Amino acid sequence: MIRLFSSLGRDLGIDIGTVNTHIHVLGRGVVLSEPSLVATDTKQEGIVAVGSDAERLLLRTPDMLDEMRPLRDGFIVDYRVMLTMLRHFMGKASRSVGRARVIMAVPCGITDVERRAMTDAIIQAGAREAYLIEAPVAAALGCNLPVFEPIGNMAVDIGGGTTDIGVMSLGGKVLAKTARIGGHDFNTEILGYIKNTYSVMMAEETVEQIKLDLGSALPPEENEEVSFLGRDIGNGLMKRVTIHKSEIYDVLQMPLQHIVDEIKNVVEQIPPELAADILERGMVLTGATALMEGLGQRISGELGIPVHIPKDPGFAVAVGLGQASKEFERMDRFIIASKSRKGRA
């Protein structure tokens, strides 16, 4: 029966994060990529829109709506809103959700209570079966690492709210750690700096664009600049500000070093017999933040380990969940929680 559902492309792989959600449908690829965002009325009595629709409404009528993100640092903070968002995304991705086997990526540090809440939400959203695997496992699968072989494999996934680090071998997890820091923390640092230095408030989209245009993990060779419009905190009028790449480099040093140190802590714990494999073959770095200029080089330089970044690192976890569906019969040691409509699997 599992093979029948797989052949019909009804298996869903869900990479649901603090900032964005990606859904992979077996046989079709990544079919949905939207903000993990819900818009409610100002009294929070009703949900008005979800995902991209919520983002558009919040840009047009921010005073009439409240922004809600049901996950913080990759963990559920509002179950009701989470369920609504999940049901919306699953229904949008597949017409046959009721027949679907869903495999979801979750942070490494998820507790038993959080695992139950997540599998319950998947089943209540309409799925036939729910399975959870940790994000680095999915990232490794999405990068075609030989995780079922007797070889050390390492994957680091930098999400919006968390950085998940995992070492795998022989179809099982050897080490795993979640650090509650991610790409969204970079945005927070940039926003705070511009507010304090230039007395300007700006839209979240502008902050993200500044990070993409000027963010660098290595000292910039050319001091590029970007001009943008923000709202003057003092008089409320629009104000044009020019910011330089060297400023953003300095601003991002603390969160960047935090991530490097967390990876280093895991590397220091790798068993010697696997450490040699990783030292020789390197690690994969996934998540959209992996595209930051010089990040791979910085991690490699500080740890002495080659760093490989896939073509589309932001989708690597979602693609890996699709691969987990194909390799489902070999995933026993990687599945950390499961549930079906009839009860716990």
Predicted confidence at residue 10, as pLDDT, reads: 76
Same structural domain for residues 170 and 298? yes
Given a cut of 60, whether residue 3 has pLDDT beyond it is no
Using an 8 Å Cβ cutoff, are 132 and 118 in contact? yes
CB 107, CB 164: distance < 8 Å: yes
Average pLDDT, integer, range 298-312: 97
Share of the chain above pLDDT 90, in %: 85
Q: Are residues 169 and 123 in the same domain?
A: no
Taking CA atoms, 105 is separated from 13, 99, 115, 211, 296, in Å, by: 8, 20, 11, 26, 23
**Do 45 and 16 belong to one domain?**
yes
pLDDT band at residue 5 under the 50/70/90 scheme: very low
67 and 161 share one domain: no
CA distance 82 to 159: 18
The per-residue pLDDT for 8 is 45
Domain count for the chain, please give it: 2
Q: Is residue 90 part of a domain?
A: yes
Query: Are 66 and 112 part of one and the same domain?
Result: yes
Residue-wise pLDDT for 192-202, tens only, equals 999 999 999 98
pLDDT of residue 60: 82
Q: Are both 227 and 189 inside the same structural domain?
A: yes
Residue 343: its pLDDT value, please? Answer: 57
Residue 345 lies in a domain: no
Band of pLDDT at residue 62, cut at 50, 70 and 90: confident
Query: Is residue 230 a part of any domain in this protein?
Result: yes
> What average pLDDT does this structure show over 91-98?
88
Question: Cβ neighbours of residue 297 under 8 Å, at least 6 residues apart?
Answer: 217, 218, 307
pLDDT band, very low/low/confident/very high, at 59 (cuts 50, 70, 90):
confident
Q: How far apart are CA 211 and CA 233, in angstroms?
A: 22
Would 334 be classed as within a structural domain? yes
Structural domain contains residue 187: yes
247: helix, strand or coil:
helix
Whether residues 128 and 175 fall in one domain = no
pLDDT at 58 over 70: yes
68: in domain: yes
237-260 pLDDT, tens digit each: 999 999 999 999 999 999 999 999
Residues in a beta bridge with 14: 23, 104
Domain presence at residue 104: yes
Q: What is the pTM of this model?
A: 0.92
Phi-psi group of 135: left, alpha or beta (phi > 0 → left; psi -120 to 50 → alpha; rest → beta):
alpha
pLDDT at 334 over 50: yes
Amino acid, res. 322: G
* Average pLDDT, rounded, for the chain: 92
b vs e for 109-130, b when ≥16 Cβ sit within 10 Å of the residue's Cβ? bbeeebbebbbebbbebbbbbb
Q: Look at residue 245 and tell me if it is in a domain.
A: yes
Same domain, 111 and 251: no
- Residue 7 pLDDT class (50, 70, 90 cuts): very low
Instruction: Identify any residues that bridge with 32 across adjacent strands, giving them in sequence order.
Output: 23
Residue 50 maps to which CATH number?
3.30.420.40
pLDDT per residue as tens digits for the range 133-159: 999 999 999 999 999 999 999 999 999
Q: Are residues 44 and 74 in the same domain?
A: yes
Q: Tokens standing for 301?
A: 């330089």
Any idea what DSSP says for residue 244?
A: E
247 and 109 within one domain: no
Give the structural domain span for 131. Answer: 2-138+316-340
Mean pLDDT value of segment 38-57: 87
pLDDT of residue 9: 45
Residue 41 and residue 131 in one domain: yes
CA distance 151 to 171: 10
Same domain, 163 and 288: yes
User: What value does the mean pLDDT take over residues 174-187?
Assistant: 95
Q: What is the pLDDT of residue 252?
A: 98
